[in-house]
Amino acid sequence: MSQFRQDFIRFAIQQEVLCFGEFQTKAGRLSPYFFNAGLFNDGSALRELCQFYAQAVLASEVPFDMLFGPAYKGIPLAAGTAIALAEQGCNVPYCFNRKEAKDHGEGGTTVGAKLQGRVLIIDDVISAGTSVRESIELIRAAGATPCGVVIALDRMERGQGELSATQEVQRNYGLPVVSIATLDDLLGYLQGQGGMMQNLQAVQSYRDRYGVKND
């Protein structure tokens, strides 16, 4: 496991963004862990989170020209990742959308740089894939090309069929989905933590029952 992935898992646990226990998912499953990216909610946490996003983007080697953040959670993530990338010598423009078109002032449905070239979508997670689909449609309508999606954690969990939400995006749109960490990375981290054997066993059982095969 890449060091930054392990560091991200540790950071998420320390911030209590990644918690262990018994949580009911939207699908009605009882999950032994819960990840809520919305709890990265102060300046220091957001700064460190976006540094992880930047590392994942650069490690992926996906070619891109700019970043796009879907409203609402993707807005600070795209802006913060653009800053983190600039600090690493990769200065790129970014853009985000409004939920409702503005009919005065500059107008339009987007704020920031003009959508053009290869656009990398920055979001927190992929659940039903609605945000990704809407982002792809908006980017293509502007004459630009969506080139990938970057998320914080890939749960690697089956949806209604045999594929996970990220695999469905890859299949339906032909786009790479890059994650800072995956469920397998979480398992790898827990295996190295002597005091978390109970959590390891619970997460592994959940992975065995609901997880998808590795690509």
For residue 211, give the nearest of 159, 153, 172, 170 by alpha carbon: 159
User: Is 26 an active-site residue?
Assistant: no
- Taking the alpha carbons at both ends of the chain, their separation in whole angstroms is 16
Q: What are phi and psi of 82, to 5 degrees?
A: -60, -40
Write down the pLDDT at residue 103: 55
For residue 159, give the nearest of 148, 147, 178, 172 by alpha carbon: 172
User: Is 102 an active-site residue?
Assistant: yes
Write down the pLDDT at residue 185: 95
Write down the pLDDT at residue 144: 98
Write down the pLDDT at residue 131: 87
Write down the pLDDT at residue 102: 56
pTM value surpassing 0.75: yes
Q: How many CB atoms lie within 10 A of CB 87?
A: 13
Candidates 26, 99, 104, 213; catalytic one: 104
For residue 4, give the nearest of 58, 50, 49, 55 by alpha carbon: 55
The contacts of residue 46 (CB under 8 Å, 6+ apart) are: 40, 76, 80
Structural contact between residues 121 and 68, judged by C-beta atoms closer than 8 angstroms: yes
For residue 206, give the nearest of 74, 63, 30 by alpha carbon: 30
Candidates 73, 99, 102, 213; catalytic one: 102
Structural domains in the chain, sorted by start: 3-210 (3.40.50.2020)
pLDDT tens, N- to C-terminus, the chain (215 residues): 579 999 999 999 999 999 999 999 878 899 999 999 999 999 999 999 999 999 999 999 999 999 999 999 999 999 999 999 999 999 999 999 987 765 544 547 899 999 999 999 999 998 777 889 999 999 999 999 999 999 999 999 998 789 998 999 999 999 999 999 999 999 999 998 888 999 999 999 999 999 997 76
